[in-house]
Amino acid sequence: MKGLSCNSGLLHEYSVEQAMDILAEHGYQAIDISLELAPPFIPPPKPHMSSAADAGRRRAVRSYAQQAGIAIGALNAHTNVIHGEPAVRRENVEFIRGALHLAADMEVPYVISGCGVKLFYGWESTYWEWCLEAMRDLAAEAERLGVMILIEAASPYGSLVHSLARLQRLLSTEGLETLAVLFDPAHYHVRGDSVLDAYLALGDKVKHMHAKDARGDRENFGFPPLGDGDVDFKGLIRAMVANGFDGYISVEYEAMAWGYPDNPRQVLTDGKAFVEGILAED
C-alpha cells in the first residue's frame, strides 16, 4: 500500500493548499481533490478545484503538493451520466471529460466517478444504454490522455451501478476494458454484498480504496465514523495486504450527514489511528 489519502471534501472549509498542509501535519501521504459540485450532503461542501482552472492554477496546485510532500492520489468527479434530460446528461459527461484533462495536466493517475442515479421513469435498458455510451466515450478519452477512470459502486436508492454484480457487468462490457475500481466497502455493505467477497472478486481492478464505515440497508442506511459501523475492516485490510494492494487507502468522512461531529482534524487523527491500528496487528 502506498499510504493514507483523504477525500478533500472533509476539508472543504480550507483552500486546497491549506488542506494539503493539514494532511501533511497529520501524517497523510496524499489527497483526493474533490471537483464535485453537488455531493449529497446538506450543506454541500465546496469543490477544491474546477476543470476550468487555467494552466497557471494547475501548475501552482501541483507544485504546492510537491512542496508539501503530498501526492494527489485522485480527482473526485462524481456526476449523473444517466440523467433523463439529454442536455444535462451531455453536460455531466463533459464534466468528467474536463476532470480527465485536468488530471492529465496535473499528472494525477485516476479520476473517480460513477454512473449515476435513475431520476425519471424509464426502462432499465435505456439507462444502461446511456451509461455505456457515456463510459465508452470517456474511457477512450482517458486512455488517450494516459489517465484511468475508477468506477465507484454507489448504494443510494436508484443508483444504476450499486453492487458487485452490476459493477462486473459494466467492467465486462466491450470497449470498457480500461475502466478500474474505486472500492468503497460501505456501499457494498449497504447493498447486501459481502465486502470481503466483493473485494476478492474484483482483484487487481481495485486501484484505490475508501475507508468508510456503514450500517443498515439501501432503504435506511448510515455512514458513521470508522469503527462505529458494521464493515469488517480488519478482514478487508488484511486481505488487501495479503493480495499486494499497492494503492492508497483514502479516509472519506460523510458521517456529518447523520448528525456526527464535523471536526476534520479529529477525523484525520482517528482515521489514521484506525487504519494503522489494523495494519500494526499483522
Region 119-139 average pLDDT: 96
Share of the chain above pLDDT 70, in %: 98
**Residue 200 to residue 41: CA distance in whole angstroms:** 31
DSSP track, 51-113: TT--HHHHHHHHHHHHHHT-EEEEEE----TT-SSHHHHHHHHHHHHHHHHHHHHHT--EEEE
Cβ-proximal residues to 195 (8 Å cutoff; 6+ apart), any chain: 185, 188, 189, 231, 232, 235, 236
Alpha helices in 155-256 (DSSP H): 164-171, 185-190, 195-202, 233-242
Q: Is the dihedral of CA 92, 116, 83, 216 positive or negative?
A: negative
- Tell me the pLDDT of the chain averaged across its residues: 95
Please name the amino acid found at residue 84: G
- Residue range 67-102, pLDDT digits in tens: 999 999 999 999 999 999 999 999 999 999 999 999
Tell me, what's the pLDDT at 40?
65
- Residue range 152-190, pLDDT digits in tens: 999 988 999 999 999 999 999 999 999 999 999 999 999
- Residue range 40-49, pLDDT digits in tens: 666 678 899 9
- Residue range 206-263, pLDDT digits in tens: 999 999 999 999 889 999 999 999 999 999 999 999 999 999 999 999 999 999 999 9
Which grid cell is 57?
A: 492554477
Kindly report the CATH class assigned to 3-281.
alpha beta
Which grid cell is 171?
A: 467492467
List the chain domain ranges: 3-281
**Residue 86 to residue 133: CA distance in whole angstroms:** 13
Grade residue 26 by pLDDT with cuts at 50, 70 and 90. Answer: very high
